[in-house]
């Protein structure tokens, strides 16, 4: 019912030339892969090139962030209208690196989510607790709060394409993955919160991805959990062979 989605977050890596070299190798490797949806998130300067190079393929591309306004005096920003105009289909919202280094607040994530929905961009809203919050027993409170804030004022109608990514801050880029049991429990809490806000049927169809040191070696065990519907992969998505091995995991959903 929920088609698994494997996404590659390239963060601030790869020039346009490097992005196209990746695709030259990657696209033929995954061209017959239908089980999972595949989405790449290149940096803004490569996005247009990746969108052009993936037309007519089974790989989609999205932006790593966007502003919530259509246009205006916001130096350095890109608007939802601009993303839609280049046929960008997906957008990451509230990644912890945006929250930490660009000071994005829960309110901003909420405004961005509403803007994405208004422009028919598929949003992937990132949430996740810090190590400190986990160690003090606040994981559930943080996840419920972040999801509630993101969904504040979001209507059931129009939220059909909503995707949430659970990315515990302590597992991102650290090599230490959350265990499948920890992730399953966090996803269950997130799905419950979506249910409380948007209704049980929307919660049932909303895909929840896990992100944080996903590798070829751990992806199958994670994907075996009932509430894990995909992965948001950073470092493991930079090399075409490694990312392909992650996408081609074998397991119950395979």
The catalytic residue positions are: 95, 167
Q: 195, 148 in Cβ contact below 8 A?
A: no
Binding positions for ligand PGA, 152-171, rule CB under 6 A: 167
211 near ligand PGA, rule: CB under 6 A: yes
Interatomic CA distance for residues 29 and 21, integer angstroms: 13
235 near ligand PGA, rule: CB under 6 A: yes
214 near ligand PGA, rule: CB under 6 A: yes
236 near ligand PGA, rule: CB under 6 A: yes
If the CB atoms of residues 158 and 173 are measured against ligand PGA, the closer one turns out to be: 173
Nearest to 169 by CA among 69, 247, 99: 99
CB of residue 213 to ligand PGA, shortest distance in Å:
4
CB of residue 10 to ligand PGA, shortest distance in Å:
10
Residue in 42, 123, 212, 240 binding ligand PGA, rule: CB under 6 A: 212
- Give me the torsion for CA of 56, 38, 203, 162, rounded to 10°: -60
- Across 117-246, where does the E strand assignment appear? 122-127, 163-166, 207-211, 230-233
Q: Tokens 């052009």 belong to which residue?
A: 52
Contact residues for ligand PGA, defined by CB under 6 A: 9, 167, 172-173, 211-214, 232-236
């Amino acid at each position: 019912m929920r088609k698994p989605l494997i996404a590659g977050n390239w963060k601030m890596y790869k020039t346009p030339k490097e992005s196209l070299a990746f695709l030259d190798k990657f696209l033929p490797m995954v061209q017959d892969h239908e089980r999972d949806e595949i989405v790449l998130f290149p940096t803004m300067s490569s996005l247009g090139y990746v969108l052009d190079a993936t037309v007519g393929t089974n790989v989609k591309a999205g932006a790593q962030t966007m502003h919530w306004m259509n246009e205006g005096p916001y130096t350095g920003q890109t608007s939802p209208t601009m993303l839609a105009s280049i046929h960008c289909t997906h957008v990451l919202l509230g990644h912890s690196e945006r929250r930490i280094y660009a000071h994005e607040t829960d309110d901003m994530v909420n405004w961005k989510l509403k803007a994405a929905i208004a422009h028919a961009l598929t949003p992937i809203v990132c949430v996740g607790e810090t190590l400190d919050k986990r160690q003090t027993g606040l994981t559930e409170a943080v996840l419920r709060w972040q999801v509630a804030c993101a969904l504040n004022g979001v209507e059931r109608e129009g939220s059909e394409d909503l995707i949430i990514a659970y990315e515990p801050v302590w597992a991102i880029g650290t090599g230490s993955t959350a265990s499948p049991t920890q992730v399953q429990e966090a996803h269950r809490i997130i799905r419950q919160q979506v249910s409380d806000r948007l209704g049980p049927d929307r919660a049932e169809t909303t895909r929840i991805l896990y992100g944080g040191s996903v590798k070829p070696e751990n992806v199958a065990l994670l994907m075996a959990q009932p509430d894990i519907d995909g992965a948001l992969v950073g470092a493991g998505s930079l090399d075409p062979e490694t990312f392909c091995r992650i996408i081609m995991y074998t397991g119950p959903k395979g």
